[in-house]
Amino acid sequence: MKMRTDKKIIRMLVFFVLLLGGLTMVVPFLWMLSTSLKEANLVYQIPPQWIPKPADWKNYVELFTKTNILSGIGNSVIVSICVLSFGTFSTSLSAFAFAKLDVPCKNGLFLCVLSSMMVPFVVLLVPQYIIYTKIKWINTLLPLIVPASLGSVSMMFFLRQYMSGLPTELLEAAKIDGCGYFKIYCQIFLPLCKPALISNIIMVFMGTWNDYLGPMIFVNDSEKYTLQVVIKMLNSYHETQTDIPLVMAASLIAILPILILFIFCQKYFVDSMAITGLKG
Amino acid sequence: MLALWHPDDMCLRKKAAGYEKGMVIIMAKNSLKRKERRAGLLFVMPAMVQFVCFFLLPLCLCIFASMTDWNVLVKNKNFIGLQNVVELFRDSKFWIAVRNTVYMLLPIPFYMVLGLLFALACHKEIKGNKVFRVLYYLPYVSSIVALVLLWKWLFNSEFGLINQALGLFGIEGPNWLGDPVWTKRMIVIMIAWKMIGITSIYFLAALKNVPPVYYEAATIDGAGSVTQFFKITVPMITPIIFYLLCVNIIGSLQTFIEVDLFTTDGGRNYGVATVIYYIWQKAFNYSQMGYACAAALVFGVMILLVTLLQFKLSDKWVYEGE
Structural domain boundaries in chain B: 9-65, 84-317
- Per-residue pLDDT 10s for chain A (280 aa) are 556 787 888 888 888 888 998 999 999 999 999 988 888 777 777 777 777 777 778 889 888 888 889 999 999 999 999 999 999 999 999 999 999 888 888 889 999 888 888 888 899 999 999 999 999 999 999 999 999 999 888 889 888 988 888 888 888 888 888 888 899 998 999 999 888 888 888 888 999 999 999 999 999 888 899 999 998 888 765 555 678 888 899 999 999 999 888 888 877 777 666 655 433 3
With an 8 Å Cβ cutoff, are B145 and A101 in contact?
no
For residue A72, how many C-alpha atoms fall within 13 Å in the half-sphere facing its CB?
29
Q: Where are the beta strands (DSSP E) in B230-315?
A: none
Binned at pLDDT 50, 70 and 90, residue B18 comes out as: low
Residue type, B43: F
Q: Which fold has domain B84-317?
A: MetI-like fold (1.10.3720)
Closest by CA to B279, choosing from B266, B267, B269, B268, is B266
Total residues belonging to chain A: 280
pLDDT at A208 (0 to 100):
93
Higher pLDDT, A44 or B9: A44
Residue B263, min C-alpha distance to chain A (Å) = 11
Q: What per-residue string of b and e applies to B210-248 under the rule 16 or more CB within 10 Å gives b? A: eeeeebeebeeeebeeeebeeebbeebbebbbbebbbeb
Is A36 in CB contact (< 8 Å) with chain B? no
pLDDT at B21 (0 to 100):
65
Residue from the list B151, B164, B293 with its beta carbon closest to the beta carbon of A127: B293
Binned at pLDDT 50, 70 and 90, residue B304 comes out as: very high
Beta bridge partners of B68: B79
Beta bridge partners of B79: B68
With an 8 Å Cβ cutoff, are A120 and B250 in contact?
yes
State in words which class domain A67-276 has: mainly alpha
pLDDT at A275 (0 to 100):
58
Residue B289, min C-alpha distance to chain A (Å) = 7
pLDDT digits (tens, 9 = 90+) for B153-184: 899 888 888 888 888 888 888 888 888 999 99
Distance separating alpha carbons of residues B135 and B115, to the nearest angstrom:
13
Is A219 in CB contact (< 8 Å) with chain B? no
Cis peptide leading into residue B212 (ω within 30°): no
User: Which residues on A lie below 8 Å from B37 (Cβ)?
Assistant: 101-104
H-helix segments, chain A = 2-36, 58-66, 69-100, 106-115, 121-134, 142-149, 153-164, 169-176, 181-183, 190-192, 194-210, 213-218, 227-237, 244-264, 266-276
Q: Exposed, middle or buried, B170 (CB in 10 Å: 0-12/13-18/19+)?
A: exposed
Q: How far is CA B69 from CA A43, A226, A252, B84, B278, in A?
A: 50, 33, 44, 8, 17
Domain ranges of chain A: 2-58, 67-276
Find residues 42-61 of chain A whose CB sits inside 8 Å of chain B.
43-44, 46-48
pLDDT at B274 over 70: yes
User: Which residues on A lie below 8 Å from B134 (Cβ)?
Assistant: 262-263, 266
pLDDT at A226 (0 to 100):
93
With an 8 Å Cβ cutoff, are B143 and A210 in contact?
yes
Question: What is the C-alpha end-to-end distance of chain A, expressed in Å?
Answer: 48
- Check residue B265 and give left, alpha or beta (phi > 0: left; psi -120 to 50: alpha): left
Distance separating alpha carbons of residues A227 and A76, to the nearest angstrom:
6
Distance separating alpha carbons of residues A205 and A153, to the nearest angstrom:
15
pLDDT digits (tens, 9 = 90+) for B312-321: 998 888 887 6
With an 8 Å Cβ cutoff, are B35 and A181 in contact?
yes
Distance separating alpha carbons of residues A182 and A187, to the nearest angstrom:
8
pLDDT at A277 (0 to 100):
42
pLDDT digits (tens, 9 = 90+) for B184-201: 999 999 999 999 988 998
Higher pLDDT, A5 or B50: B50
Residue type, A159: L
SS3 state at B12: helix
pLDDT, mean over chain B: 87
pLDDT at A279 (0 to 100):
34
Contact B224, B216 (CB under 8 A): no
Closest by CA to B53, choosing from A141, A208, A205, A127, is A127
Closest by CA to A63, choosing from A249, A255, A252, is A249
**Which DSSP symbol is given to B174?**
P
Binned at pLDDT 50, 70 and 90, residue B50 comes out as: very high
pLDDT digits (tens, 9 = 90+) for B87-119: 999 999 999 999 999 999 999 999 999 999 999
pLDDT digits (tens, 9 = 90+) for B215-272: 999 999 988 888 999 999 999 999 889 989 998 999 999 999 999 999 888 888 899 9
User: Which residues on A lie below 8 Å from B84 (Cβ)?
Assistant: none
pLDDT at B306 (0 to 100):
93
Distance separating alpha carbons of residues B15 and B317, to the nearest angstrom:
61
Question: What is the C-alpha end-to-end distance of chain B, expressed in Å?
Answer: 69
Q: How far is CA A255 from CA A130, A227, B153, B214, in A?
A: 32, 10, 16, 44
pLDDT at B13 (0 to 100):
59
